[in-house]
Structure 1
Amino acid sequence: MGSANFILVINLFVAGLLAAAFMTIAIYDVGRVSARWLAFGYALGMVYFAIEFSIPVFDNARPVVVAAFAVFLGATIAFNGGLARKYGVAPIWPPMLFFLAVATVAVYYVQDLPRQSLARMMAYQLPYAAMQFAGLGIVWSSRQRRDRLDHILMAVLAASAVQFASKPFIAHALGGWGADPQSYVQTSYALVSQSIGTVLGLALALLMLAILVRDVLAEATSKSETDMLSRLLNRGGFERHAEVALRDAVRRGVPVALVIADLDHFKGINDSYGHAAGDRVIETFAGFLREAAADHHVAGRLGGEEFAIILPGTNLAAARLFAEGTRSAFGALPIDSLPANHRCTASFGVAELHSGEGFSDLMRRADDALYQAKGSGRDCVRVSAGPGLRPAIAANAG
């Protein structure tokens, strides 16, 4: 068995393993459609390598060569479909499938050109390059790019596209790709082409596996940190994200404030109207917090009817205004499952981080301010003037 044949066999088994890996992710998370498309793409890759390996046994290799081309181009299109699903971009199936049909017909007819013709080689390789550039465009256009892995993926897609476009010139430099399809696997070009393709193809596959696993773990972490009723962070998730926000604010030298809120007379709502009505009140207040919060704010449900929100880049005066606006708006909001004339209220405690304080100190002072608000008749805001100082009145009951 020649070196190129040996690499083809390796590629066949690697493609099978990758197809199985992506299918495992798809089975683990049935909603992850991207993994199914990637698994399908690598399954087509297996078919392609099997066809390539079998070409020498055919007397008339033209139909087999064209079939191999179409299958591999189909694999790149399926890969792009997986990319589109992963990155939230609408898959452009009609143009890609039309491109597949046109390119396949073109490859069929260029078989009449001389074997070493540059036009023939380019007709075979440039469609692959085009699909890799299309994949790069999918990732580039997405708003879901998160971190360095996504940028590395774009770089590898670009490198893969370039290597496909350069293959006709590599083949020319290495003496061509054989006198006929049957002798292709015996050429130096076949060894180089299969080796480069293996490295880049494996890099793309491993990057996609890493990105999908990253997303699965991130979603699992998010679910473990999310309160299902309010859809805000639970206490553990809030504390973790809030501490990160505090450290970042301190590093950047910007103020950061904490607002703690507690729904007034919540037990009475449960007792009078039932727990379903109480749940609706929590959902409404949480939804109001989500809408009022900016992207860099951190909001959570600390437990029961108590909520908190970290406001990086916000000083005490601005945080007080945020709390007062939330108090006033929520108090005027009608809530489903409650009588039309029933209005719910909330009390608020506000504190700004001072030099030398940590998250626990800020929480304690905001909680003290909330306690003062509850003791002052509820439906009001109190602010903590600073460490060791008594919370000050910020707004009277509405």
Structure 2
Amino acid sequence: MSAATFVLTINLFIAAIFAVSFGVVAAYQKTSDAARWQSAAYGLGVFNVVLEFILPFQEDPRLVGIAIFLDFLLATLLIVVGLARHYRQPVPWRVLGGILAVSTVTILVIIDWPRGSFARMVLYQAPYAAVMTVGAWVILRHKAKRALDLILGGLFILSALQFLAKPLLAAAIGSGASPQDYINSTYAAISQTAGAFLLIANGLLILLILVRNLMEEMTARSETDKLSGLFNRRGFDDRVGPGIATLRRTGMPGTMIIADLDNFKAINDTHGHECGDAVIVAFARLLKESAGEHFIVGRLGGEEFGVFMPGVEASGARLLAENVRTRFAALVFPFSASLRTTVSMGVSQIEPGDSHSDALRRADGALYQAKREGRNRVQVASYSDDVMPEHPMERLASR
């Protein structure tokens, strides 16, 4: 067995493993078809290796040679399509289609050219380099690039350079007098080894990136309230705890707001739970819009919401809370023009040494003071307040 044959055998198993791996990811990541494109690409890679094994046994190698060229080119095109899908960018169909069309005509023209022709070798490898360059462009133009994305972009550039270097290598050491001799040549061993390295590196990185995003998507779903789209209690707490620790370390101010919709049970009883859900969604949208991207907003349960505002004094938090309270009281709901609902809010500045539970308790105490004083109010806790919430049954009665 020649060195190239050995490497081709390894490539066959690698391509099969990646095809299956991407297929498994696609089965779990149903919201994105990026993994399906990658699985199809590596599936074509398996077929490509099979064709490479068949080539030495052909009396007329032209048909299989053309199939090898087009199969591998199509596989690289599918990888780029999958990357564009993953990075949520428009697929460059015209560019990729143009490369495929020009390359198909080119291979039909050059297939009978002498194998030692440098022009033939350049024209043969250029389409692969072009596709890899398009792939690097798709990756690197993505705005939210992270370390793995940058490395993958670099590997695609390296792959493009590798294809451009192949004609130089073939001219230097020869690639076999005929297609049948190719498999036993030193050029084939070097070419296939370099291809195997890049096949593994690119496949692993793409797989890692897809799995990374799948895990992040699953985490986001577990930390997001489905109805409101805000963080649920778990997601809120997981972010507020470290945020308060940062405030203690840096000495920056911070504020906690707890909001509770007034008389929400009556809304459900009078208008139905579907309308109650619509009220929750409307308030969540208003609260998120008012808080912006810099603050942590969550639905803590039922009709209760929380806002953590690092770097903001209580006076600033009160202005935001009053704005939300006023706008919410003025909302008109399409399912009932007569429905008017309000919200009570408790605001507490986070004191030095406060824990997560301290901040919530003080804001919660201010909220229930607002409830007792007539609802539709914003109450700011003073520094001396350390009000424990009422018994759960008393809470229910006061709402």
Scaled by the length of structure 1, the TM-score of the pair is: 0.92
Alignment partner of 2:331: what SS? Answer: coil
The 5 Å alignment of 1:266-285 reads 266-285=264-283
Counterpart amino acid of residue 159 in structure 1: L
**In the alignment, does 2:369 pair up with 1:372?**
yes
Alignment partner of 1:178: what SS? Answer: coil
Alpha-carbon contact 1:365-1:387 (below 8 Å) kept: no
> Which has the higher mean CA deviation after the structures are superposed, 373-382 or 250-259?
250-259
Instruction: Pick from 293, 296, 299 the counterpart of residue 294 of structure 2.
Output: 296
Specify the alignment match of 1:167 in structure 2. Answer: 166
Specify the alignment match of 2:26 in structure 1. Answer: 26
Q: Measure the CA separation in 1 of the matches of 2:82 and 2:288.
A: 31
Where do 5+ consecutive residues of structure 2 fail to align?
389-399
How far is the alpha carbon of 1:118 from its aligned partner? 2.3
Specify the alignment match of 2:58 in structure 1. Answer: 58
Alpha-carbon contact 2:115-2:178 (below 8 Å) kept: yes
How far is the alpha carbon of 1:19 from its aligned partner? 0.8
Identity of aligned residues (%): 43
Specify the alignment match of 1:341 in structure 2. Answer: 338
**In the alignment, does 2:15 pair up with 1:15?**
yes
Specify the alignment match of 1:72 in structure 2. Answer: 72
Q: Measure the CA separation in 1 of the matches of 2:69 and 2:181.
A: 17
Alpha-carbon contact 1:88-1:144 (below 8 Å) kept: no
Counterpart amino acid of residue 42 in structure 1: Y
How far is the alpha carbon of 1:254 from its aligned partner? 4.1
Alpha-carbon contact 2:362-2:386 (below 8 Å) kept: no
Alpha-carbon contact 1:40-1:78 (below 8 Å) kept: yes
Q: Measure the CA separation in 2 of the matches of 1:377 and 1:330.
A: 17
Q: Which structure is richer in relative contact order (CA contacts within 8 A, separation 6 or more)?
A: 2
| CA deviation vs aligned residue, 1:63-116 (integer Å, no higher than 9, x gap) | 322221111010000001110111101112232122112112213323344322
Counterpart amino acid of residue 19 in structure 2: A
Alpha-carbon contact 1:280-1:337 (below 8 Å) kept: no
The 5 Å alignment of 1:59-138 reads 59-138=59-138
| CA deviation vs aligned residue, 1:311-341 (integer Å, no higher than 9, x gap) | 2332222211111111111110112333x13
How far is the alpha carbon of 1:276 from its aligned partner? 2.1
**In the alignment, does 2:147 pair up with 1:148?**
yes
The 5 Å alignment of 1:112-261 reads 112-145=112-145, 147-173=146-172, 175-248=173-246, 254-261=252-259
Scaled by the length of structure 2, the TM-score of the pair is: 0.91
- Distance 1:263-1:49 versus aligned 2 partners, 3 A rule: same
Q: Measure the CA separation in 2 of the matches of 1:112 and 1:99.
A: 21
**In the alignment, does 2:355 pair up with 1:358?**
yes
- Distance 1:93-1:250 versus aligned 2 partners, 3 A rule: farther
Specify the alignment match of 1:329 in structure 2. Answer: 327
Counterpart amino acid of residue 231 in structure 2: L
- Distance 1:4-1:222 versus aligned 2 partners, 3 A rule: same
Q: Measure the CA separation in 1 of the matches of 2:251 and 2:185.
A: 63
- Distance 1:389-1:9 versus aligned 2 partners, 3 A rule: closer
Alpha-carbon contact 1:62-1:108 (below 8 Å) kept: no
How far is the alpha carbon of 1:388 from its aligned partner? 4.6
**In the alignment, does 2:331 pair up with 1:309?**
no
How far is the alpha carbon of 1:252 from its aligned partner? 6.1
Alpha-carbon contact 1:87-1:144 (below 8 Å) kept: no
Counterpart amino acid of residue 4 in structure 2: A
Counterpart amino acid of residue 262 in structure 1: D
How far is the alpha carbon of 1:58 from its aligned partner? 1.3
How far is the alpha carbon of 1:2 from its aligned partner? 0.6
How far is the alpha carbon of 1:123 from its aligned partner? 1.1
Alignment partner of 2:183: what SS? Answer: helix
Q: Measure the CA separation in 2 of the matches of 1:301 and 1:249.
A: 23
Q: Measure the CA separation in 2 of the matches of 1:388 and 1:344.
A: 28
The alignment's C-alpha RMSD in Å is: 2.0
Alignment partner of 1:311: what SS? Answer: strand
**In the alignment, does 2:387 pair up with 1:381?**
no
Q: Measure the CA separation in 1 of the matches of 2:348 and 2:169.
A: 67
Q: Measure the CA separation in 2 of the matches of 1:250 and 1:184.
A: 68
Number of residue pairs aligned between Structure 1 and Structure 2 = 388
How far is the alpha carbon of 1:390 from its aligned partner? 8.2
Specify the alignment match of 2:46 in structure 1. Answer: 46
| CA deviation vs aligned residue, 1:213-252 (integer Å, no higher than 9, x gap) | 1222222222222222212111111100222333455566
Counterpart amino acid of residue 383 in structure 1: V
| CA deviation vs aligned residue, 1:335-387 (integer Å, no higher than 9, x gap) | 2333x133111011112223222222211221122122112211111122335
> Which has the higher mean CA deviation after the structures are superposed, 187-196 or 308-317?
308-317
Alignment partner of 1:186: what SS? Answer: coil
Alpha-carbon contact 1:264-1:346 (below 8 Å) kept: yes
Counterpart amino acid of residue 168 in structure 2: F
Counterpart amino acid of residue 131 in structure 2: M
Q: Measure the CA separation in 2 of the matches of 1:379 and 1:296.
A: 26
Q: Would you identify which runs of 4 or more consecutive aligned residues in structure 1 move more than 3 Å?
A: 111-114, 244-255, 387-391
Alpha-carbon contact 1:280-1:336 (below 8 Å) kept: no
How far is the alpha carbon of 1:253 from its aligned partner? 5.7
- Distance 1:253-1:44 versus aligned 2 partners, 3 A rule: farther
Alpha-carbon contact 1:256-1:314 (below 8 Å) kept: yes
How far is the alpha carbon of 1:36 from its aligned partner? 1.0
